[in-house]
Amino acid sequence: MSRIGYGRLTKTEDGYDLPIVGGVFTRPKAVTDDRGIQHPSSIFRIWTNTELKEIGFARVKIADIPSGYRAKSTADAWGEDDSVLRGVVLEEIPEPTINPENYRHDRKQKMITDMGSGSFEEAIGNELDSLLKHVNNIRMKKDEIAQATTVDDLKSILSAICDLPQDLDNVIGKWTAAKAAFPKPE
């Protein structure tokens, strides 16, 4: 199984060719071609591979990386359908080595305790929950923003988005306090 990504091709005298320039993005996004024409993200869903290639972009089929491995390097080639096939050279991820002199378990545990959680997983879970609630609130406001008819309406909606909810404000306060109390070792 492979994943799909998208990338900008190298401009040549005859059009566009490999290699991919500037990395591969995994979600469609609005792009500007070499002529300065802006295209919406939907072109990556609607256009054919040939049409994308004509403006300097390509759909990239990325080989999956199995668990326990990482990509050492990649190689791109043209597929039969004007898509790009990205292969990977794998290397096994080595087991982490812990140097007892540098390991700061007590420091980490103290930070977690000070943040009001019993475990690392609980601390992260509570904080992510607060962040995701706020992100979802922002997402839910997009329709209200689109329907705003006056500057005052827009200001009212944006102030609700910019004011952090209490639980997220508390998380940021705990992070700041923990970082101040336990600075990174030099």
pLDDT digits (tens, 9 = 90+) for 84-113: 999 989 999 887 665 555 545 666 666 666
Task: Specify the DSSP element, H or E, that contains 85.
Answer: strand 84-92
The ranges assigned to domains in the chain are 2-92, 105-181
Q: Which amino acid is at 38?
A: Q
Q: Which pLDDT score is estimated for 103?
A: 47
Over residues 23-36, the pLDDT tens digits come to 899 999 999 999 99
Tell if the pTM clears 0.75, that is, is over it.
Answer: no
The β-bridge partners of 86 are 62, 76
CA-nearest of 165, 157, 158 to 130 is 165
Helices and strands, counts by H and E, the chain: 7, 7
The pLDDT tens digits for 113-128 are 666 656 667 777 777 7
Q: Could you tell me which residues are beta bridge partners of residue 9?
A: 20
